[in-house]
Chain A
Amino acid sequence: MAEGQGHSGESRAVHFGPFGGIFVPETLMAPLVEVAAAYESAREDPVFQQELGAYLRDYAGRPTSLYFCRRLSEHCGGAKIYMKREDLAHTGSHKINNALGQALLARRMGRKKLMAETGAGQHGVATATVAALFGMECDVYMGEEDVRRQALNVYRMRLLGARLIQIESGSRTLKDAINEAFRVWMATAETTYYLFGTAAGPHPYPTMVRDFQSVVGREARRQILEREGRLPDHLVACVGGGSNAIGLFHPFLDDDVRMVGVEAAGRGLQTGAHAASLTAGSEGILHGARSKILQTPEGQILTTHSVAAGLDYPGVGPEHAQLQATGRAEYVGATDSEALRAFELLTRLEGIMPALESAHAVAHAVELAGTLPPEAIVLVNLSGRGDKDIAEVQRVLAEQEE
């Protein structure tokens, strides 16, 4: 299964233009250098790649399908909309691709314990799942606010045998869970592997997570060529930290395909209650990398808001900052209510309930498709399924009706 394998000969640079890097306390340097070295050797090792490919196929259910949304496309009255169905991957989102890759790496490094941060709980569930699969211990760090709004995933993690550490500092969301996970890892790296969930953070995570997620784009590229005999005109994916988006985009970087990342515009960019680091942020350093972040004029990190816990993060992966700076990809926002409308629309028209994160991408794709001619093709990464969000959707819709 060729698509389970990484490209060789790609740049292993620590930086993406002016972005990326390793801005961490000295105590994290040795663990990060060790992970980077182990990953370099693993990615060149055909045995590792074969094993990963087999798990992706037999365990995660890859390749996921590429689905033509006939009714949604008709509704939009423009371009054809295709969905890359990462919601059909095992555990219900693209997060399993990276969790499998890094858990195999952790095993190769002799670690018996995994730790992970999670926002929406999808990465936490994926990590708890691979920990169960490989018989490893697992600690998941999650903000108190996210524990509340993603109760289903919290219970799934517990069933899978993970220990949940609830974070009550700061904004009590993903940002704070990452802070705490890094703090704990500083003292435990000799025994514990930190399975970072998005294409952000210090090197090697942005590169490694992107590589493990690129299976999405490689499959989608082959599938659309099979179906349509040509590449899509637009790729659309939601961006929190940016792992599903970079996974879809990366294999298309050299193609004549436009790429749009959709950030959480929350209650609207003008309200300040959003999580749109690329469209409304500025350059800064957070969680080990230089990127675009949401910050005060004095460099303090702002708290964010999104109805989607997985997008509720004041930073973004450094490769996206570079794709934006060079103009190779474009980044826009979708508000909470636009995402909720897209959630309802996709559910009604296609019988697919998207994760609220992915619903941001759907919202933009619907808008975009309406402006394009019928022969145009828009390919959306449906990065996760929405079961986890049903209680939150119910709560928010009830609030709106009041």
Chain B
Amino acid sequence: MSRIEARFEETGAAGDGALVMFVVAGHPTPGVCAELLPAIAEAGADIIELGIPFSDPLADGPVIQAASQRALGEGMSPRGVLEMAAGFRAKWDTPLVVMTCWNPIYKYGVEAFARESAGAGVDGVIVTDLPAEEAGEWVPAARASGLDTIFLLAPTSSSARVKKVVDLATGFVYCVSRMGVTGARDELPAELGAMVERIRAETAKPVAVGFGISRPEHVVEVCRLADGAVVGSAVVSLIEREQSSAGLRQKVRDFVSELKGATRGLRSTGRRR
């Protein structure tokens, strides 16, 4: 069982949802980001997603775009992200997922990226613009290195695609809550429950919901439906806003622990498996 699957197993057994926290690696600077990761882990994140910044991220809204530009300006590179992951892994066992677009991986060398990610202690990879149809080179490389391959599903994914994607997915299935780019929203879409049920009907693998999850009440709502909630833009915004404040780490820690608190006791234990 992978570290990611084991974490979902643990949170599920405790009756909690899993809290997945996304940050842009190298934002606001590589140094500050490396210090934030332990704070996020300590505050209760069950899984950390490290975004490898890409110059032209198609699926991202303004907050993550700006943070990515900033990180690139600070010299963040795919290799630098793996070094950051390795530094974190030396002290922490929180599952790590790397999230990026296909071009940086393609350019790195698909097999080398898989091998070196696993070597750096990364547990899974999400490639936001690599649909199952184009994953023929990636999935075998990731499997050979023991990385989970996390794929996304959207509200408009056909039943045939849901089937295909859940078969390829390992670690968890990432359910995109709504159409459109990443970014905080006020409310969750009403159809989310039906969407999660459509995925559940095809797989027993854990399902985490992301895109637009920004507040504890969203996390509560999501964790009633799914195995975990992914929060990204909201914490990236907080980091951007408070980057020069002495209390940055504490503010991030408080936000994460508030979100983690919202995951507790929402799942009837042993529901899955």
Contact of B104 among A30, A170, A179, A299 (CB under 8 A): A299
Contact of A288 among B129, B152, B156, B179 (CB under 8 A): B129
Q: How far is the CA of A24 from the CA of B130 in the complex (A)?
A: 6
Q: Does B2 contact A (CB under 8 A)?
A: no
Q: How far is the CA of A176 from the CA of B165 in the complex (A)?
A: 30
Least CB distance from B170 to A in Å reads: 17
Q: How far is the CA of A295 from the CA of B59 in the complex (A)?
A: 19
Least CB distance from B165 to A in Å reads: 8
Q: A25 with B103: in contact, given A182-B58, A300-B72 (CB under 8 Å)?
A: no
Q: Does B261 contact A (CB under 8 A)?
A: no
B156 touches A299 (CB 8 A): no
Q: A295 with B134: in contact, given A24-B58, A300-B72 (CB under 8 Å)?
A: no
B65 / chain A contacts, CB cutoff of 8 Å: 169
Contact of A284 among B77, B103, B179 (CB under 8 A): B103
Question: Which of the segments A69-77, A183-191, A358-366 contacts the partner chain?
Answer: A183-191
Q: A29 with B179: in contact, given A24-B129, A285-B106, A300-B104 (CB under 8 Å)?
A: no
Q: Which of A33, A283, A286 has the most CB of B within 10 A?
A: A286
Least CB distance from B69 to A in Å reads: 8
Contact of A26 among B60, B102, B131 (CB under 8 A): B131
A186 touches B103 (CB 8 A): no
Q: Does B269 contact A (CB under 8 A)?
A: no
Contact of A27 among B105, B165, B179 (CB under 8 A): B179
B134 / chain A contacts, CB cutoff of 8 Å: 21-23
Q: Does A256 contact B (CB under 8 A)?
A: no
B181 touches A186 (CB 8 A): yes
B154 touches A299 (CB 8 A): no
Q: Does A297 contact B (CB under 8 A)?
A: yes
Q: A179 with B154: in contact, given A23-B134, A187-B180, A297-B107 (CB under 8 Å)?
A: no
Q: Does A375 contact B (CB under 8 A)?
A: no
Q: How far is the CA of A182 from the CA of B107 in the complex (A)?
A: 23
Q: Does A385 contact B (CB under 8 A)?
A: no
Q: A183 with B78: in contact, given A299-B103, A300-B104 (CB under 8 Å)?
A: no
Q: How far is the CA of A288 from the CA of B58 in the complex (A)?
A: 9
B172 / chain A contacts, CB cutoff of 8 Å: none
Q: Which of B54, B154, B161 has the most CB of A within 10 A?
A: B154
Q: Does A175 contact B (CB under 8 A)?
A: yes
A298 touches B78 (CB 8 A): yes
B103 touches A30 (CB 8 A): no
B107 / chain A contacts, CB cutoff of 8 Å: 284, 295, 297-299
Cβ-closest chain A residue relative to B60:
A183
Cβ-closest chain A residue relative to B152:
A26
Q: How far is the CA of A300 from the CA of B165 in the complex (A)?
A: 28
A287 / chain B contacts, CB cutoff of 8 Å: 56, 58
Contact with B along A185-214 (1 / 0, CB 8 A): 011010000000000000000000000000
Chain B interfacial residues counted at CB < 8 A? 40
Chain A interfacial residues counted at CB < 8 A? 37
Contact with A along B114-152 (1 / 0, CB 8 A): 000000000000001111011000000000000000011
B176 touches A26 (CB 8 A): yes
Q: Does A280 contact B (CB under 8 A)?
A: no
Cβ-closest chain B residue relative to A169:
B65
Q: Does A301 contact B (CB under 8 A)?
A: yes
Least CB distance from B64 to A in Å reads: 11
Q: A186 with B180: in contact, given A27-B59, A299-B54, A299-B103 (CB under 8 Å)?
A: yes
Contact of A22 among B60, B133, B180 (CB under 8 A): B133
Q: How far is the CA of A179 from the CA of B151 in the complex (A)?
A: 21
A30 touches B156 (CB 8 A): yes
A293 / chain B contacts, CB cutoff of 8 Å: 103
B58 / chain A contacts, CB cutoff of 8 Å: 24-25, 28, 179, 182-183, 287-288
Q: Which of B78, B102, B105, B152 has the most CB of A within 10 A?
A: B102
B79 / chain A contacts, CB cutoff of 8 Å: 298
Q: Does B265 contact A (CB under 8 A)?
A: no
Least CB distance from B195 to A in Å reads: 12
Q: How far is the CA of A169 from the CA of B104 in the complex (A)?
A: 20
Instruction: Please name 8 further chain A to chain B contacts, defined as beta carbons within 8 Å, in addition to the given A26-B176, A285-B103, sorted by A numbering.
Output: A26-B152, A179-B56, A179-B58, A183-B59, A284-B103, A285-B101, A299-B78, A299-B108
A residues sitting closer than 8 Å to B (CB atoms) are 14, 21-31, 33, 169-170, 175-176, 179, 182-183, 186-187, 189, 283-288, 290, 293, 295, 297-301
The 9 closest A-B pairs by CB, nearest first: A299-B107, A187-B180, A30-B156, A299-B104, A25-B59, A300-B55, A27-B154, A26-B152, A26-B154
